Amino acid sequence: MIGFLIVILLIGVGVLLFFGFRLQRMLVKQPATGEVDKTRRRVKPIAYILGAVVVLFLVILVSFIRIVPVGHALVIFWIIPKTYSVAREGINFIPPLITQTSLYDLRRIDYTMSSEAEEGRRKGKDDALWAPTKEGLQVGLDLTCWYRLDSERVFDIHRLIGPDFEAKVVRPAIRSIVRMAMSGYGIMDIYSNKREEIQDQIYKKIKRQLGLDGIIIEGVAIRNVQFTEEFAKSVEEKQIAQQKAQKMEYVLEEERSEAERKEIEAQGKAKAIAIVSRELRTNPNYIRYLYVDKIADDVKVIVSDQSTIMDLKGLIGP
């Protein structure tokens, strides 16, 4: 665009010079009424010419100036020698007609794939990264990759890939590596402590692959995980079944505890009966003592009739 404007300005200056010279010749041929008037008429076209030359010089000078913003690099292709150079931050003088330039951002850039329509790099639609797991189930990932361009290889990126390197290299590499990495893990591994392992594996593979093209990867983050509706429903049903199984296990544990308690209680009663039976065999009067013990605690002597008196101490024995 700047080159086109320069060409238009050059044509305009040429036309102005042409008519200026024509006007000067006309004024020289006219009869002069006085030396002063003739000099003035000759000076006017010369002033126009000088003014046009000054304007042309300023326009050309301004067209040479290119300001490279902070954190950027300007790749310059010189058309005639067919070579490349890189202009750094600040003011640079670059001829417009014999060069082609492309501006590249060397700062840290994030490339996000997200299910949120207004969050990812591709606005207005779901851009989540869906990949198959080891079981063949689909899992959706919201992923962010941070990268920056190698300032020493930016001209190689421009020459071999082009300004649209994100669409040609970054995005395909991320999608391919994530799919390969997820195929080695189960769908539930993403929720376990293996999630960090998966993320680290993806980071290392992306860093190694894109590093060959002069793209430095600084980090990868798995921000969100989503499943298909069918799998989410099956997980919910499984959780309900697990809760029922846990409840039944609790009930069975209670029943086992109660059975053990009753068994211990029965063993205690059986042992007590055995002891009583053994005592009755050795001392038959022990049954009378038990009878009396159930009647009252403070009874010492029992008169069963007018001629019989039972001494409790005698029944028990020494």
CA 263 vs. chain centroid, Å, equals 60
One-character DSSP codes across 255-270: HHHHHHHHHHHHHHHH
* One-letter identity of residue 86: V
Range with lowest mean pLDDT among 112-116, 160-164, 266-270: 266-270
Q: For the segment 200-238, what is each residue's pLDDT rounded down to a tens digit?
A: 999 999 999 999 999 999 999 998 888 777 776 666 566
Comparing 32 with 16, which gets the higher pLDDT?
16
pLDDT, tens digit (0-9, with 9 covering 90-100), for 89-110: 998 988 888 889 999 999 999 9
What pLDDT score does 86 carry? 92
- The residue-averaged pLDDT of 283-309 equals 58
Specify the pLDDT at position 259.
79
pLDDT the model gives residue 73: 94
Amino acid 59: pLDDT: 77
pTM of the model: 0.59
pLDDT of residue 1: 42
Count of C-beta atoms within a 10 Å radius of residue 317: 10
